[in-house]
Structure 1
Amino acid sequence: MHRFLREFWLFGLKQAYACMFGGYLLGLIFLTNYWYPFSLPRYDFLFLAAVAFQLFLLGFKFETPKEAIVIVLFHCVATGMELFKTSDAIGSWHYPEAFYFGIGNFPLFAGFMYSAVGSYLARIWRIFEFRYSAYPEAWKPVVLVVLIYINFFTHHYFYDLRWILLAASVILFGRTYIYFKVDQVYRRMPLLLGWLLVALFIWFGENIGTYSRAWVYPDQSSQWHMVSPSKLLAWYLLMMLSFVLVSFVHKPKFVRLTIPSGKVEHATSMDTPL
């Protein structure tokens, strides 16, 4: 019992540490919706606050230069999608307040909301010392996430392939387990379940963001209501994109699994590729 409580406590601390940037940004979004005494547009304040916090994380070594690279990559990928999704022709969602720091209908602070996801994954990958079993060949996830990213654009004009892409992710990663070390012992869980849980928490954060009117969907313009659970699929697919981007920086390490006579699968090495 003592060991369980210790691991549970450490798990929570490590998760909080990994969520540092995302929690900071979400907290500011919520707070400034109710109290904002400055003349500078709120979105611009959020942008400057996000940049300042990123510099703080780097300066005090809470974040490594490699993790900062992931944030920049994901920010660029997200900016392209945001510019398209918020354009007048598409209007998937919009930002109802004024801003100076932005491109088209897209305030630059919004890119950091995506960066927070990349920041979380990069940091948690390192502090939990992730390992994987039955991980697919490196080129296959890359091809899949490229198709996922393209579908975010093309589904407005052609058939939406997200369910096919979801099925492909299950085929590709259905046997993959992620091994993580909370304290001294490695635990494991299906990688797909891990992605789903993270997507669920992002969806909770999205509800806080839209409630605080940081951005709104067309059906929330007159009155707020919870974001449709169908958005979970979009966040799940975006999670895969973020994961693969992080894998370019934190190269996946593997475990070798053996099936002894008792047919109990176990890891015999934490650093040996399959």
Structure 2
Amino acid sequence: MLTTNITGPLASSVRQLLDFAWIHARACAFAIALLSGLAVSTALPHLPVARYDLLVVYGVLLTLLFWRRGWENGRDIAVITLCHVIGLAFELVKVSLGSWSYPEPAVLKFAGVPLYGGFLYAAVGSYVCRAWRLFDLELVRYRPRATAVVAAAVYVNFFSHHWLPDVRWLLAGLLLAVTAGTSVRYTVRGVRRRMPLALSFVLIGFFLWVAENLATYVGAWRYPYQLHGWQPVGVDKFGAWSLLISITFVLAAVGRSGSRNDTIGVQLDQQA
């Protein structure tokens, strides 16, 4: 728990904000460790093992460390693994279409996609699972079936828009509609607060866009316009991440509602 010497009428609010940020940093532990490993790997001397292959080993070791230390439980690992698999499928299609690339050689690489690429999505899954526990999250008036259908459509559209009309704005409207009235309750310094679920998607999408800028800067992957020198990732990716995070939330919510011990994790809208 963070402490501060701030006094006065705003002291409580400042402490709440600092603790909110600190809990988020703890929830991002896997992602921070993964990005740090990526950054360090760029400074390594020439080795007989490809950098991408080293990052696969690093990602596996990180996963084992978090599990053995109890920072992630079996249910979390299941969600994170599914995020890894779904992410790799996403990468295989998008790389084959030239949306971005992994230009460095590697042994553990299939159809242009290194296996470590899945850990980038696993890091997002880890964040959601850890935040759920650290903030004692509760989804109120959550519509599981409707939200899952729209989230699945969002995922498919990121493939299909290469051949069919891009309907992401329509899907964004549908996502707002199915999450209207759905809120996230969370706890900071013993105080229970509430946030609209749609707003949480937007906020997470923004920070994922920031993380994507950092990741491409340290060579995690390259967009076509970054092949001859790094450039900031387009702001349109902010919107894309705000939509894609819905998939991870759906998976995490299924994992939470499937546990008998997690009695307050998800409150379903009875009309959903």
Aligned residue identity for 1:58: W
Give the Cα–Cα distance (whole angstroms) in 2 for the partners of residues 102 and 272 of structure 1.
42
Q: TM-score scaled by structure 1?
A: 0.87
User: What corresponds to 1:52 in structure 2?
Assistant: 61
* Matched residue SS, 2:139: strand
Task: Determine if contact 1:132/1:252 at 8 Å carries over to the other structure.
Answer: no
1:106 positional shift: 0.5
User: What corresponds to 1:265 in structure 2?
Assistant: none
Which among 120, 123, 143 is matched to residue 116 of structure 1? 123
Give the length in aligned residue pairs: 256
1:272 positional shift: 6.6
Aligned residue identity for 1:182: V
RMSD: 2.0
Change (3 A) 1:4 1:100: same
Which among 180, 201, 209 is matched to residue 186 of structure 2? 180
Aligned residue identity for 1:46: L
Which among 16, 19, 22 is matched to residue 13 of structure 1? 22
Give the Cα–Cα distance (whole angstroms) in 2 for the partners of residues 49 and 271 of structure 1.
33
Aligned residue identity for 1:60: R
Which among 73, 90, 94 is matched to residue 64 of structure 1? 73
1:220 aligns with 2:226: yes
1:132 positional shift: 2.8
1:215 positional shift: 0.6
Q: TM-score scaled by structure 2?
A: 0.88
1:6 positional shift: 3.8
1:146 aligns with 2:152: yes
Give the Cα–Cα distance (whole angstroms) in 1 for the partners of residues 177 and 90 of structure 2.
26
Which among 5, 9, 13 is matched to residue 4 of structure 1? 13
1:41 aligns with 2:50: yes
Q: Deviations over 1:181-240 (max 9, x none)?
A: 012110112211111111111111111111122211111112221000001121111100
Aligned residue identity for 2:253: S
Change (3 A) 1:187 1:73: same
Q: Deviations over 1:15-66 (max 9, x none)?
A: 1211010000111112222334533111111110110011011111111111
Aligned residue identity for 1:165: L
1:7 positional shift: 2.8
Give the Cα–Cα distance (whole angstroms) in 2 for the partners of residues 43 and 111 of structure 1.
12
Change (3 A) 1:4 1:155: same
- Unmatched tracts of structure 2, length 5 or more: 1-9
User: What corresponds to 1:256 in structure 2?
Assistant: none
1:175 positional shift: 2.4
User: What corresponds to 1:258 in structure 2?
Assistant: none
User: What corresponds to 1:29 in structure 2?
Assistant: 38
* Matched residue SS, 2:57: helix
Task: Determine if contact 1:180/1:187 at 8 Å carries over to the other structure.
Answer: yes
Change (3 A) 1:207 1:272: closer
Task: Determine if contact 2:95/2:113 at 8 Å carries over to the other structure.
Answer: yes
Change (3 A) 1:75 1:230: same
1:157-236 aligned at under 5 Å gives the runs: 157-236=163-242
Aligned residue identity for 1:201: F
Which among 87, 107, 121 is matched to residue 100 of structure 1? 107
Give the Cα–Cα distance (whole angstroms) in 2 for the partners of residues 65 and 252 of structure 1.
13
- Unmatched tracts of structure 1, length 5 or more: 254-268
Aligned residue identity for 1:11: F
